[in-house]
Amino acid sequence: DVLMERINAFFGAFMDAPYEEKWELAEKGIAEEPELFDSETVFEVANSLFDQAVAAGEAERFERLLDQIEKAAPVLPNSSFEKVL
Residues of the chain by 3-state class (helix, strand, coil), percent to 5:
80, 0, 20
Please check the confidence at residue 32 and state whether its pLDDT lies above 70: yes
Please check the confidence at residue 20 and state whether its pLDDT lies above 90: yes
Please check the confidence at residue 24 and state whether its pLDDT lies above 80: yes
